[in-house]
Amino acid sequence: MPARPTVPDWFSHDRFGMFIHWGLYALPARHEWVMTREQRELSDYERYTEFFDPDLYDPVAWAKLAKRAGMKYVVITTKHHEGFCLWDSQLTDYKATNTPAGRDLIAPFVEAVRGEGLRVGFYHSLLDWHHPEYPIDGIHPRRDDPTRFEANETRDIAKYREYLHGQVRELLTNYGRVDYLFYDFSWKGDPHHEGNPPRLWNAKGNEDWGGEELMALTRELQPGIIVNDRLGIPGDLVTPEQYQPSRPMTLDGVEVPWEACQTMNGSWGYDRDNHDFKSVDTIVKMLIDGVANNGNMLLNVGPTGRGTIEAESQRILGEVGAWMDLHGRSIYGAGPSGFTAPVDGRYTRRGDRLYLHLFSWPPQHCHLPGLAGKVRYAQLLHDASEIHFAEIPPDTQAVNTGMGGQPAGTLTLTLPVRRPDVAVPVVELFLTPDA
């Protein structure tokens, strides 16, 4: 029986992290998969290294932005599928030190994030569209290249594996403590691709990466590290992407830790002409919904080629932070409640506190099934103003000025007419010891 996936307490306490997708793809600025979407020739795509000059790169500002938003950990792409490395790897020349950037970009990032008291995570692509030994496959930029089969005759995945493991050793040895490793991704035998056989040609997974060995190496070099589930073998958590699970996640019927990774606008890498940003309350609702279902959220930013984070992302993170300033205790250290929330509401619970998150503002009253006799006191969380509540016995006759009875066990809140001016209003309910 495989070990049950578990994460350290800090992870299920902190709930909210920043994902950073940064690389050469910030220059074409049209999605991090641009190299394969446009099936770019390697020599053509490599030219971006001449122009990668993030002169405004300020990792302290990035870390402060994450902290401002209420995020507790930050995960950066060390290398994405394009194969370009942000750190000074001794195993390749395809790296930031060989561009106008002229330095290791990961070292100052790690220092800055720790400097803000946040935890450090690395995203590392298992795929590598630049490496000469990486066999061409159905999602590779050369997938339609007539010479692909011939090319693969001389490509040796074992040599690529050695490179992959060597780079992971560098990353987990040279930058101190790393709290989270987000490998990406395996698609061999992935049912989601069945409808698209070309994508499955030469698909890769555990054996290709040496998943078990890489997992063992990762844990040996960083004993307390969290490793995700994309090596083609089980990890410490599952990582739904760009969707919000509608209930706690399970594997073989066993509940498992999870973290949803979400973009702000559909693209992970900086996408200049994409203005399809989610609203602040949508993002706050996704975070709440996740915690109510015992999950974390990793929210992405895609810095530009100058090393800045675009204004819209900054604005949104600032406003999410404003909500977290007032409502953080309904998220940090909170989780599922075991109670059934009213329509358009979500519950998160932290000890004897139950948080009712109201996604739409009810007209004056809100009926809470199963909470009668379980609540000592209630208040709006943003300003600690008292909220009245009562039980209306089921046999109570409705009259002109009086509401009729509610199903047994229901607690009825009386809410102010005016919706509080916050992204999502929250009622904090103080539970009785036996609730």
Residues that bind ligand GLC (CB under 6 A): 21, 32-33, 184-185, 241, 261, 268
Nearer to ligand GLC, 270 or 355 (CB): 270
SS3 169: helix
Q: Beta strands of 190-294 (E only): which ranges?
A: 226-227, 250-251, 254-255, 258-262
Q: How far is the CB of 238 from ligand GLC (least distance, A)?
A: 12
From CA 398, how far away is CA 229, in angstroms rounded? 55
Q: How far is the CB of 297 from ligand GLC (least distance, A)?
A: 12
CA dihedral defined by 143, 147, 151, 157, rounded to 10 degrees? 20
Q: How far is the CB of 416 from ligand GLC (least distance, A)?
A: 41
Q: How many CB atoms lie within 10 A of CB 98?
A: 16
Who contacts 217 (Cβ-Cβ below 8 Å, separation ≥6)? 165, 168, 169, 172
Q: How far is the CB of 165 from ligand GLC (least distance, A)?
A: 20
Nearer to ligand GLC, 122 or 355 (CB): 122
Nearer to ligand GLC, 32 or 428 (CB): 32
Q: How many CB atoms lie within 10 A of CB 6?
A: 13
Dihedral of alpha carbons 384, 386, 391, 396, sign? negative
Q: Tell how strand 295-301 and strand 16-20 pair up.
A: parallel
From CA 14, how far away is CA 373, in angstroms rounded? 31
Q: How far is the CB of 106 from ligand GLC (least distance, A)?
A: 17
Residues 96 and 77: beta-carbon distance below 8 Å: no
Q: How far is the CB of 77 from ligand GLC (least distance, A)?
A: 7
Q: Where are the alpha helices (DSSP H) in 206-295?
A: 206-209, 211-221, 280-292
Nearer to ligand GLC, 233 or 403 (CB): 233
Q: How far is the CB of 401 from ligand GLC (least distance, A)?
A: 55
Which amino acid appears at position 150 of this protein?
E
Q: How far is the CB of 328 from ligand GLC (least distance, A)?
A: 25
Q: How far is the CB of 316 from ligand GLC (least distance, A)?
A: 19
The residue among 168, 219, 204 whose CA lies nearest residue 3 is 219
Nearer to ligand GLC, 241 or 255 (CB): 241
Provide the β-strand partners of residue 357.
346, 426
Nearer to ligand GLC, 286 or 403 (CB): 286
SS3 110: helix
Q: How far is the CB of 301 from ligand GLC (least distance, A)?
A: 13
DSSP label of 309: P
Residue 389 parent element (H or E)? strand 388-390
The Cα-based distances of 202 to 154, 186, 199, 214, 351 in angstroms read 15, 11, 8, 21, 50
Provide the β-strand partners of residue 122.
76, 181
Nearer to ligand GLC, 105 or 429 (CB): 105
SS3 339: coil
Nearer to ligand GLC, 22 or 33 (CB): 33
Q: Where are the alpha helices (DSSP H) in 248-343?
A: 280-292, 311-327
Q: How far is the CB of 31 from ligand GLC (least distance, A)?
A: 8
Helices and strands, number each (H, E), in the chain: 13, 16
Nearer to ligand GLC, 45 or 185 (CB): 185
Which amino acid appears at position 152 of this protein?
N
Nearer to ligand GLC, 109 or 185 (CB): 185
The residue among 217, 208, 150 whose CA lies nearest residue 181 is 217
Q: How far is the CB of 352 from ligand GLC (least distance, A)?
A: 36
Nearer to ligand GLC, 32 or 271 (CB): 32
